[in-house]
Amino acid sequence: MVRRPDGKLTHEVDGEKGPQDACGIFGVWAPGEEVAKLTFYGLYALQHRGQESAGIAVSDGDRILVYKDMGLVAQVFTENDLAVLTGKIAIGHTRYSTTGSSNWANAQPTLRSSEGSTLALAHNGNLTNTGDLAERLFKSSGDAQNHLHATTDTEIMTALISLEKGGSVEANALSILPTLQGAFSLIFMDENTLYAARDRHGIRPLVIGKLETGWVVASESAALDIVGASFIREVEPGEFIAIDEDGLRSHHWTTPEPRGCIFEYVYLARPDTTIAGQSVHPVRVAIGERLAAEHPVEADLVIPVPESGTPAAIGYAKYSKIPYGAGLVKNSYVGRTFIQPSQTIRQLGIRLKLNPLREVVAGKKIVVVDDSIVRGNTQRAIVRMLREAGAAEIHVRISSPPVKWPCYFGIDFATRAELIAAGLDIEEIRRSIGADSLGYVSLEGLIEATNIAESKLCTACFTGKYPMPIPEESGNVKLLLEEA
């Protein structure tokens, strides 16, 4: 069984990370184009989905080359690296590890050769039956254990597809996909074909775009915009697609049961992305409006926790008619460095990332809008910082309901024991973070703002109702399956 690592990089500096996304994936089929450079810019647009490692695989029709390393996309690739990655197909990946340690071997795309073809694969999501899959792999190919290059669900999936006896990558993938459980948006390729597939619930996003002379598949529509591809449609839940010189062909390998991750709308996706027909920025503004309607307060100024709290703060200000302003300045680059902070620097904590504008907040009653509370350390530090800067009152407003349950589908919140809302009620959380008042948007309000039916969304981290069986990880995690 693949287990969560102990050895994760600890380059964050404030002792608490927000919800971390699992990965960004990108693929392009475009003979005659600079496919590696297109992939580089696609990954650059998806950097927010994973900052630990980045990789690109390129095929020239005869062989596949992979280049990957630890770090941000712009740290990993130089102009010279991209210049040697020539070909007609490329796939790329930016990683945040949810299974397997954060190290080079676990960076993606994964690569595996078998009879007649080579497979490179990039995955966003998290499988929930990795133990069963590993067993299947070891049974079907006795010595496969010795040939696993890495410790991730992605590596096991890659090995299963490669070692399946069906023949082509396409036939093997169609035979293995139904055995996978959990969340998976996949982009993969052999020497001549680009493939993509999505789990039956479509938990993580995946979209198809068209270039003048080729095709693009990406985690988010914003990545299509950035490389000049026009949005065609989403890869549907339970769909498999293949793209080659004959164009795009599609198979539905299972019956779709859409349950898109609602947290993509709250925080994970870029605001300029569209998921299931809904633009993320207006949804976030609408969530802020609901938040203001549900939790009004008399105040002088609404400020966001930048940048993820910004659209909801705009919505809160719009509905409440309280002026909106910037009261916290963010340094986006601190905390993504591989230079380990010393103890003295670590004690600066959140100040390395956020700094209050004293002249803006001093003497004012402030509404501060954030996207979520995980452990509560960040919000506690922000409240303290705003008080030190002279704020008269601090009212915290959160654009998601309390996160009470862990995510098993590719988002690393924390264990249930670490989630502040799993153990404390809202008044206790308010006291713990030191705010004058605290309000979370209701689940109904959040769902309404997305314009998507509740039955088509995963809301498990708020409700504990998982859309599929989850691995029993510890005594305090109950299996709460929705009634079918």
Active site residues: 23
Collect all residues with Cβ–Cβ distance below 8 Å to 484 and sequence separation of at least 6: none
- CB nearer to ligand SF4: give 38 or 203: 203
Q: Which is nearer to ligand SF4, 44 or 405 (CB)?
A: 405
Instruction: Report d(CA 259, CA 364) in Å as an integer.
Output: 42
Return residues touching ligand SF4 (CB under 6 A). 203, 261-263, 407, 409, 411, 458-461
Side-by-side strand order, sheet with 247-252: 110-114, 117-127, 182-189, 194-198, 239-244, 247-252
Least separation in angstroms between residue 404's CB and ligand SF4 is: 10
Residue with smaller CB distance to ligand SF4, 208 or 407: 407
Residue among 209 and 238 whose Cβ is closer to ligand SF4: 238
Residues 176 and 195 sit within 8 Å (Cβ to Cβ): no
Which segments of 22-137 are extended strands (E)? 23-29, 53-59, 64-70, 89-95, 110-114, 117-127
Nearest distance from C-beta of residue 45 to ligand SF4, angstroms: 21
- Which helix (H) or strand (E) is 194 found in, with range? strand 194-198
Location of structure tokens 């950097």? 47
The sign one gets for the Cα dihedral 40, 44, 50, 53 is positive
- Smallest distance, ligand SF4 to C-beta of residue 352, A: 27
CB of 399 to ligand SF4, least distance (A): 14
Q: Are 410 and 126 in contact (CB under 8 A)?
A: yes
Query: In terms of CB distance, is 158 or 450 closer to ligand SF4?
Result: 450
453 CB-near residues (< 8 Å, 6+ apart): none
CB of residue 263 vs ligand SF4: minimum separation in angstroms? Answer: 4
Q: How far is CA 101 from CA 93, 150, 256, 410, in A?
A: 16, 9, 32, 14
CB of 204 to ligand SF4, least distance (A): 8
Within 8 A by CB and 6+ apart from 300, the residues are 322, 323, 364, 365, 366
Residue whose C-alpha is closest to residue 124's, from 75, 196, 193: 196
CB of 203 vs ligand SF4, minimal distance in Å: 5
The answer to whether the beta carbons of residues 27 and 196 sit under 8 Å apart is: yes
Judged by beta carbon, residue 109 or residue 260, the one nearer ligand SF4 is 260
Nearer to ligand SF4, 67 or 409 (CB): 409
Q: How far is CA 365 from the centre of its chain?
A: 34
CA gyration radius, the chain? 22
According to DSSP, the β-strands at 393-398 and 437-440 are parallel
